[in-house]
């Protein structure tokens, strides 16, 4: 049975209510399909990975499917420690989002702007604000969260799974399976 990631669509910080346009919570099959279909996806991971290190391995699995990884804060360290840095780039979340909002940016590899960004393991309030920047100032990029939180400013997100670690891990695995399949 797949994890129901559409439950609990409540902002993790309850007062984060931006306005009329709020994220929809999707199941893992739909999110996986969107990632698979993306032409220029970018996985963005942050320092919260250190609090649940198994997510590093899951990020690497995603990386191995060909999705490049932006390692924000000092999360690059986790990839270095695991000996996987092939398509991982160290960059701050703030400048990265600044680049993402400009249509003329050529990406971390110089090959063009991204069409889907996927956030995972980033401090909630910061991630939410960066989604908001893209929601308001570059609507060409699809905003996907596969973090353990309901992300109100994303296009597509899980509901809150912050208090059920096992289910969260399972949900990420399901997305990865879909991506690989």
Partner 1 sequence: MDKMEGSFALEDMQNVQINIGAIVKEVDEWDQPMGPFPYPSIATLRDWDFKIMNRYKVFYSPICDRCTLCTYGPCDLTGDKRGACGIDQAAQQGRIVLIAVLMGCTAHAAHGRHLYHWCLDKFGDLPFKMGDEILVDAPLTRTIAGIKPKTLKDFGPVMSYVEEQVSQLLACTHTGQEGSFVDFESKALHAGMLDSLGKEVSDLIQIVAYDMPRGDEDAPLVECGMGTLDKKKAILITYGHNLAGSAEAMFYAEDNNLWDKVDIGGVCCTAIDNTRICEGIGHPDKEFNDNYRMVGTKAKIAGAIGWWRKMVRGDCMDCIMVDEQCVWTDAIVDAEKYKVPLIATNEKIMLGLPDRTNDPVDEIVDDLVNFRMPGVVVLDPVKAGEVGIKTAIAVKPKRAEIREADPFLSEEDFKKYAESCTYCHSCQFVCPPHIKIGDVVRAAAEGNYEPLSTTYEICVGCRRCEQVCPQDIPILSLYAYANREYIRNQKFKMRAGRGPVKDTEIRRVGAPLVLGTIPGVIAIIGCGNYPNGTKECYDIAREFVDRGFIVAATGCMAMDMSLYTDEEGKTIWEQFPGGFDGRNICNIGSCVANAHLHGAGIKVATIFAGRNERANYDDIADYILNKVGACGVAWGAYSQKAASIATGFNRLGVPAVVQSHSVMYRRAFLGRADKREDWEIIDARDGSKVYCEPAPEHMLYVAESVEECMLMMAKLCFRPSDNNSGRMIKLTHYCDISMKYFGCMPPDWHVYVRHASDLPLKWKEDMMKELESKYGWEIDWKRKAILSGPIRKSDVSFDPTNIERKIRVKK
- Which residues of this protein are in contact with partner 1, per CB under 8 A? 10, 12-16, 18-21, 46-47, 72-74, 76-77, 80-81, 85, 89-95, 97-99, 101-102, 105-106, 122-126, 128-130, 132-133, 135-137, 139, 162-163
In angstroms, what is the minimal distance from the CB of 58 to partner 1?
19
Name 169's Cβ contacts closer than 8 Å, sequence gap at least 6. 54, 55, 58
* Residue with smaller CB distance to partner 1, 40 or 126: 126
What's the rounded Cα separation, in Å, for the pair 94 and 67? 20
The Cα–Cα gap between 131 and 116 comes to 12
CB of 29 to partner 1, least distance (A): 27
Q: Which is nearer to partner 1, 1 or 15 (CB)?
A: 15
Following CA atoms 107, 112, 113, 117 in sequence, which dihedral angle do they give, to the nearest 10 degrees?
-70
Could you give phi then psi for residue 2, rounded to 5 degrees?
-70, 150
Closer CB to partner 1, residue 35 or residue 152?
A: 152
């Amino acid at each position: 049975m797949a994890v129901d990631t559409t439950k609990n669509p409540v902002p993790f910080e309850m007062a984060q209510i931006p306005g009329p346009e709020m994220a929809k919570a999707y199941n893992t099959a739909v999110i996986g399909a969107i990632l698979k279909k993306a032409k220029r996806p970018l996985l963005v991971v942050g320092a919260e990975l250190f609090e649940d290190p198994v997510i590093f391995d899951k990020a690497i699995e995603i990386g191995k499917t060909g999705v490049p990884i932006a390692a924000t804060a000092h999360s690059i360290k986790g990839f270095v420690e695991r000996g996987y840095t092939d398509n991982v780039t160290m960059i701050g979340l703030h400048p990265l989002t600044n680049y993402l909002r400009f249509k003329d940016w050529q990406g971390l590899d110089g090959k063009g702007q991204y069409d889907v960004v996927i956030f995972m393991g980033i401090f909630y309030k910061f991630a939410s604000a960066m989604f908001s920047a893209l929601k308001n100032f570059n609507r060409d990029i699809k905003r996907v969260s596969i973090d353990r939180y309901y992300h109100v400013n994303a296009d597509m997100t899980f509901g809150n799974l912050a208090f059920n670690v096992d289910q969260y891990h399972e949900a990420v695995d399901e997305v990865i399976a879909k991506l690989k399949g």
